[in-house]
Structure 1
Amino acid sequence: MTSAPMPSRGNLVAECVRVMHLRISAGEWPRLLPGERRLAETLQVGRDTIRLALQQLERDGVLAPADAGARRRVIHSGGEAVREKNLTLKIGVLAHRRLELLPQPMLLEIDQVREALSSKGASLEVFAPAWYEQKNPAKRLEDFIGEHPCTAWMLLRSSAAVQGWFMKARIPVLIRGYPHPGITLPHLDIDWQATAHHAAGQLWRMGHRRVVVLSPAETLMGVEAAVRGVVELGEPGFEATALVENGTSGGVGRVLARALNFKSPPTAIIATRPRQAATALTWLASQGLQVPRHLSLISLGWEPFLDHLVPEITGYRIDPEAVAKLVVRRLERIATGDPNPGGNAWITPETVKGASVGKV
């Protein structure tokens, strides 16, 4: 895969003008240029050099005159328009956290997707803008997508506002997660409701009748589906209570202490997040309670660190490499303009037998 042109170390202003013109002609910046700071970082030159280059491109008739506080608008590419279908496939990922802060399974999946795309001469870039989870991100999204043109996008943990904007804008996109009500965009995620239903059924067969579901404070469609899967088990005498923790170890401990003080305390805990399972195991031990002797524990999510806990946690996991193949196939079809990439939108995870569930 050929890399984007970069300025040489000679006459930097002239070189920046040449390189920016090349990138504009190639369709990398079809409507708006990135801001000065971003251009300086991309081309690895100072902002003064960028300002002089922008002034020259304006004199050349490539850019519109500058407006205060606005990015430069492209008015003439200086060459034939490049059809989008002829551009190298470029996938943009919008995430709620920086790459290094994402859960390890998602990091592995993104790495597999990047490698698969690279083998096809395509590329992937991950963005984690600070405004991604704002209540009204429409204006920011419009500017951002104009500044970072991609053939198709993938959304991680996206809000209803973000999904709705992409659906209205008709921009090729894959939701890597649950769609919000009314959203008809292509999506791919674990079937959290069916997975949680399976976990509840497993506990039921082991004699458990009172179960607590640990839920994070964030309003997430997948977690809501998981809670429904447990609550709606429908077996006689089965009671499930969802308790919200604040994302800290202390928060998990407080909700567990509250649950154990119920008139009819639970005999099992279902964690919707791997970190909850780890904290529950150690907090219960600090209270003199053993898993699964006193309480059983299941984790609906999985991260590699769970493999190192004793007892081994019962739960569910997915193969990042297998999921990456599903993601790439869908992205390739979406990038060609196919709004319905086909295939099952729900992933069935593998059951980890573990040793953290016992009979009552």
Structure 2
Amino acid sequence: MKPFEVRSPAEQASQHLRQEILAGSWSEYLPGEAALAAELGVGRDTISGAVKILAKQGLVISQGAGKRRRVKAPSKKPAPSWQVEILCFESTDRHLDYILDVFYGLIARGHQVKFSPKSLQEMKMDPNRVARHVKRSNAGAWVVVAGSNEVLRWFSQHDIPAIALYGRIESLKIAAVGVKITPVYRSIVKRLAKLGHERIVKLSRYETRFPNPSLIERALLEELHAQGLPVSDYNLPVWDGSFNDFHRCLDSLFQISPPTAVIFNQPDLFLAGQAHLSQRGVIAPRDVSLISMGELPVFAWHDPPISHAQFDTSPIVKTILGWMDKISIGQADTRQVSIPAVLIEGGTIGAAPKG
């Protein structure tokens, strides 16, 4: 069965407008938002959101406040069209704004793009299963999201254009773009240590812990050691990526020697973990400090403000689209780009609880 995709009204409207632009319906200027809203039978907010998506994809250009947006006409000599497949770490990745920007940005460049029917999680991060899927697919280029070292090594050893979005790229010659997140981990540990924390943990998935800890995990352990804090497997509890095991892992942590701080590597996991703990009377920052290594728009509505790593995703989109531009004209590109991140301390970090 083909995966069911839920798109917001703005995304649906942007897809319609994109098709009209590429078909040449507007050669110079995009009609005003009021006219477009009336034509499509939707609200102004929906059109405003759709136009912002088109602007990110480079199909419309702002001319300033109160002026109509200029339509950027497609190139008269487009690069050859490619079949591109986005292989997500988990199925929910396809709803992330910046991955959708990559998806629609590639389409705007004339490529045929699809998401893999199964995620890496659903394929158990098995290189053999990934290899069988790639061989069955008609895709000529791949965007691989958060692949394990073994999966990315398979792509790097075959004549298949692929770019890693995050993932374990250690010692691999493969195009990649990710976030330079290890300095943020070190900053978090230093800050927590100053606040009296001794039991600091990061929930880790199997592929980031084995056969050896990833660069991120190693940086965390090294900084704990540098701060004179105890280091053991306790600091990197492993869960298998499932709903039930996530909750099992959290519950087991708080049974005997509760951590004073928990780091979640994804913002959705942070929200799930915070909700699960609060149902058990464990509140941040009173009982535990909680930190997210990513950000969601909903964070702006949260009280207290969520402590998190912040980074700009637009360079990620630009890097992937630029990589595909080169691949489509026959130029090899194995550059590895890291986007800087900063720590936003927020209000879910506090002094270590007593006892």
The structure 1 residue matched to 2:132, chosen from 119, 136, 140, is: 140
CA distance in 1, matches of 2:343, 2:227: 25
- Asked if 1:316 corresponds to 2:316, the answer is no
CA distance in 2, matches of 1:337, 1:104: 30
Judging changes above 3 Å, is the alpha-carbon distance between structure 1 residues 93 and 258 closer, same or farther for their aligned structure 2 residues? Answer: closer
TM-score (structure 2 length as normaliser) = 0.63
- Unaligned regions of 5+ residues in structure 2, if any? 1-17, 20-77
Contact kept? 1:260, 1:266, Cα under 8 Å: yes
CA distance in 2, matches of 1:245, 1:331: 35
> In structure 2, what is the equivalent of residue 297 of structure 1?
290
Local SS of the residue matching 1:102: helix
Local SS of the residue matching 1:232: helix
Contact kept? 2:315, 2:339, Cα under 8 Å: no
Percent of aligned pairs with the same amino acid:
21
The structure 2 residue matched to 1:239, chosen from 219, 230, 242, is: 230
The structure 1 residue matched to 2:200, chosen from 189, 208, 211, is: 211
Q: Deviations over 1:97-122 (max 9, x none)?
A: 45xx32643xx123212333344344
Q: How far apart are residue 299 of structure 1 and its match?
A: 1.1
> In structure 1, what is the equivalent of residue 351 of structure 2?
359
CA distance in 2, matches of 1:179, 1:338: 24
The structure 2 residue matched to 1:274, chosen from 224, 247, 267, is: 267
CA distance in 1, matches of 2:134, 2:260: 50
Judging changes above 3 Å, is the alpha-carbon distance between structure 1 residues 292 and 109 closer, same or farther for their aligned structure 2 residues? Answer: same
Q: How far apart are residue 174 of structure 1 and its match?
A: 0.9
Q: Say how many residue pairs are matched.
A: 270
Task: Please report the RMSD computed on the Cα atoms of aligned residues, expressed in angstroms.
Answer: 3.5
Judging changes above 3 Å, is the alpha-carbon distance between structure 1 residues 310 and 215 closer, same or farther for their aligned structure 2 residues? Answer: farther
Aligned ranges 1:153-232 → 2 under 5 Å: 153-219=142-208, 224-232=214-222
TM-score (structure 1 length as normaliser) = 0.62
> In structure 1, what is the equivalent of residue 70 of structure 2?
none
Q: Deviations over 1:102-146 (max 9, x none)?
A: 2643xx12321233334434443322347854342476256325x
> In structure 1, what is the equivalent of residue 73 of structure 2?
none
> In structure 2, what is the equivalent of residue 288 of structure 1?
281
Contact kept? 2:270, 2:291, Cα under 8 Å: yes
Which structure would you say has the larger Rg? 1
CA distance in 2, matches of 1:190, 1:331: 19
Contact kept? 1:155, 1:175, Cα under 8 Å: yes
Aligned ranges 1:47-58 → 2 under 5 Å: none
Contact kept? 1:213, 1:270, Cα under 8 Å: yes
Further displaced range: 167-176 or 212-221:
212-221
Q: How far apart are residue 315 of structure 1 and its match?
A: 0.7
Local SS of the residue matching 1:239: coil
Judging changes above 3 Å, is the alpha-carbon distance between structure 1 residues 288 and 196 closer, same or farther for their aligned structure 2 residues? Answer: same
> In structure 2, what is the equivalent of residue 102 of structure 1?
93
Contact kept? 1:112, 1:320, Cα under 8 Å: no
Local SS of the residue matching 1:164: helix
Q: How far apart are residue 149 of structure 1 and its match?
A: 4.3
Judging changes above 3 Å, is the alpha-carbon distance between structure 1 residues 114 and 310 closer, same or farther for their aligned structure 2 residues? Answer: same
Judging changes above 3 Å, is the alpha-carbon distance between structure 1 residues 134 and 287 closer, same or farther for their aligned structure 2 residues? Answer: closer
CA distance in 2, matches of 1:209, 1:203: 8
